[in-house]
Amino acid sequence: MFKNSYCFLLIAIFILLNACLSKNNTSNYNDWKVFGGTKENTHYSSLKEIDTSNVGQLKVSWVYHTGDADTINHSQIQCNPIIIDGIMYATSPSLKLFALDALTGKSKWVFNPKERNKSGMDFILNNNRGVTYWQDGNDKRIFYTAGSFLFAINASDGKIISSFGNDGKIDLHDGLGKDVKNAYIAATSPGIIFNDLIIIGSRVSEESDAAPGHIRAYNVKTGKQEWIFHTIPQPGEIGFDSWEDTVAYKHIGGANCWSGFALDEKRGILYAPIGSASYDFYGGKRKGNGLFSDCLVALDAAIGKYKWHFQDVHHDVWDKDLPTPPALVSVMHDGKKIDAVAQPTKTGFVFLLDRETGKPIFPVEEKNVPQNSELIGEKLSLTQPIPTLPKSFMRQGFNDSDINNLLPDSSYQDIKKRLASYHSDNVFNPLSKEGTVVFPGLDGGAEWGGAAFDPATGLLYVNANEMPWVLTIIDRKTGTPKTEKYLDAGTRLYMQNCVSCHGPDRKGSGNYPSLIDVSKKYNEQSFAELISTGRRMMPAFKQLSDEEKKAIASFVLNIKSLQQNNFVSKQEPVDTFRNLPYTITGYNKFLSKEGYPAIKPPWGTLNAIDLNTGEIAWEIPLGEYPEFKQKGIITGTENYGGPIVTAGGLIFIAATRDGKFRAFNKRTGKLLFETDLPAAGFATPSMYNINGKQFIVIACGGGKLKTKSGDAYVAFALP
């Protein structure tokens, strides 16, 4: 009898302890203090006032207008706001940093980085996806990047903290171990805090002139650089022998962590997803697997020391950057609970890896891929890693049976003819002068919005693009003629520097705008300034001389008074290692004559993946075209920005080009709530609680996919 009572007592204590532990574990998820919700990047909220039974009653609680949308130049807001002690911190289209009362949406202060331009600061208008908060007693700081600068701002009043770095800022050009003052360096994603360090990545050019994407950590109080991790290893470092050319590290750039980090704070491990090495589409000057490009790298967060890596694409020539930080998850495998990292990819896979060792939880097979590149000097990898599980969350190929079946017959036949002329029989086909279909596409699969993980069910939710692209290689003229006219020089320089984004006909490609009639917006001076500073997706070209910028302006703006003048080139040494023999004709989506994707729907999806089994739990189209919805067809659309998942049984996501905000049942994928936003919400929402009331807020900046630009943050709550 006593023995049974003792057992019951032990069970009761166990249940009580487990409840306490659960309470402690979930209490961290009531706020949104970090980009992605938590440093584990799970996009999870334990709030459940809003649930499956009442989500349909959501109403707009407040709207904040930043007042600086640029509708002419297609400005965006991609920011995932953070909320600390009832204050929301976020950024505007022109990269102003602001603080709001998160209960009412009323402004508390605004910091404008352009006002710091008096000292000659070169300000690049790039996209921004979030900010970072640090506190020590009454010392409260917001760290964020605008252009090439990391700023430290007083969170209480919005004033710059002049004791940090150089008068409150750090130039990201500094401290890379080489002179990159003329290279494009910015940061689109926020850094992450570990102890008194802010760790930050960067966005760099994707051309041959790219700066290296090394990861750096700075002291949060002084701005002193404390450590650097070379994403392109130097002699004597791990990974150096993965580059066949032993001097490549002196010349090659890229391999940058542009999408942010995840952090296991207890273990002190930083997880950094690394992008491809530059130039993206030709690897003849960077032979070998090229670590740490296209790798998830685990580092000791305190000192930046290498722990392990996993490469998801070898010798990448398809721009298959790891697009998002992984989610740090716990899964059941072979009867054991394992702490893991779940890394979504552009290729439509999730690699599930042991958090401490980097070893795959499910087997990964090295599969043979095509080798027959026609590009001189190219040497592709013999194999590529393919996970057996989890299963791919999108199609892994495009053939005749996948052609868009919603098109008129003439358009269908046109797509069929064009598809037959391209290389399209393998996901890892070499790029070609005939044209190669890249599918999964240049923008995923998964993109920078990332995934959401539900610890209660073990389900990972990830949205995907299913847009095929076509890349076509052309010869690139190198060298500079001894004598030429401005028009000839401008044409040559355009083909060397601009054609890969704007196309040989200047009509634009992918998400890059047309330059036809751009003379209506710019004169020679303002166009040269644009080339110097860049804007959003366009990098800065500070390495070009004033005369070279003038020559490009004469060509693009059709300045006839300049075109026949004699052009005198700059006499500076050229890094011949970066003189590549090839470029591309543009980032071209594979579209029908009507502008629809060449592939049959779905064109965008939301997927639930059971990480315990590796199986797809459910998949639904995400987004709609009104003309097809009228016919009862939900096609899905391209989407940018991620989901969040809640203890209330919900998934919230905007992301689609149709400008809607939606909530789904997390177990079934059933649509429970849908509303129109003032502009498309190409961002990840944030969820928070004030005085027992639950809010969800989303940035509505539009601007991508030919949608109108907006300037609003919209918060929803139950009435």
Nearest to 549 by CA among 574, 523, 514, 572: 523
Average of per-residue pLDDT across 62-90: 96
Q: State how far the Cα of 661 lies from the Cα of 675, in Å rounded to an integer.
A: 5
Selection from 81, 55, 66 nearest residue 142 by Cα: 81
3-state secondary structure of 455: coil
- Name the band, by pLDDT with cuts 50, 70 and 90, for residue 675: very high
Length in residues, the chain:
719
For residue 253 the two structure tokens come to 């750039």
Q: Which two tokens stand for residue 178?
A: 């080489």
Position 639 pLDDT exceeds 60: yes
Radius of gyration in angstroms for the set of CA atoms belonging to the chain, rounded to a whole number: 25
Q: What mean pLDDT do residues 328-335 have? A: 96
The answer to whether the peptide bond before residue 151 is cis (omega within 30 degrees of 0) is no
Give the model confidence (pLDDT) of 460-500 as tens digits: 999 999 999 999 999 987 666 767 777 767 667 776 677 66
296-308 tens-digit pLDDT:
999 999 999 999 9
Task: Identify the pLDDT of residue 13.
Answer: 42
Q: Do domains 81-128+130-171 and 480-573 have the same CATH topology?
A: no
What is the reported pLDDT for 522?
Answer: 78
Reading the block at residue 333, the tokens are 């495998």
- Read off the pLDDT band of 26 (50, 70, 90): very low
What pLDDT was estimated at residue 2? 39
Q: 352 vs 42, 340, 355, 611, 681, CA distance in Å?
A: 14, 7, 9, 8, 29
Distance CA 241, CA 259 (A): 26
**Does 23 score more than 50 pLDDT?**
no
In tens, the pLDDT along 641-664 reads 999 999 999 999 999 999 999 999
Q: Are 623 and 640 in contact, with CB atoms under 8 Å apart?
A: no
Query: How would DSSP label each residue in 104-169?
Result: T--EEEEE-GGGGGGG-----B------EEEEETTEEEEEEEETTEEEEEETTT--B-TTTTTTSE
Looking up tokens 């009331």, which residue turns up? 693
Task: Give the pLDDT score at 485.
Answer: 75
Asked if the model's pLDDT at residue 4 lies above 70, the reply is: no
- Average pLDDT score over the chain: 90
DSSP codes, 644-670: EEETTSEEEE--BTT-EEEEEETTT--
- For residue 64 the two structure tokens come to 């904040």
Nearby residues of 413 by Cβ (< 8 Å), 6 or more positions away = none
CATH 3.40.50.170 assigned to domain 480-573? The reply is no
Which whole number is the average pLDDT over 110-122? 70
CB atoms within 10 A of CB 701: 33
pLDDT (0 to 100) of residue 686: 98
Q: What is the pTM of this model?
A: 0.89
Topology of the domain comprising 81-128+130-171: Lipocalin (2.40.128)
pLDDT tens readout for residues 581-603: 999 998 999 999 999 999 999 99
- Which residues have a Cβ under 8 Å from the Cβ of 372 and sit 6 or more positions away? 430
pLDDT at res. 536: 65
Q: Where are the domains positioned within the chain?
A: 25-79+606-719, 81-128+130-171, 480-573
Cβ count within 10 A of residue 124: 24
**So what's the pLDDT on residue 473?**
95
Q: Tell me: pLDDT of 119 over 90.
A: no
Residue 518 pLDDT level (bands cut at 50, 70, 90): confident
**CB of 654 within 8 A of CB of 677?**
yes
* Contact of 495 with 507, CB cutoff 8 Å: no
pLDDT of residue 116: 63
Instruction: Kindly state the percentage of the chain with pLDDT values over 70.
Output: 91
Give the pLDDT score at 525: 78
Res. 21 pLDDT band, cuts 50 70 90: very low
Q: What is the pLDDT of residues 426-473, one digit of tens each?
A: 999 999 999 999 999 999 999 999 999 999 999 999 999 999 999 999
Report the C-alpha gap between 226 and 176 in whole angstroms: 12
Q: Rounded to whole angstroms, how far apart are CA atoms 193 and 268?
A: 11
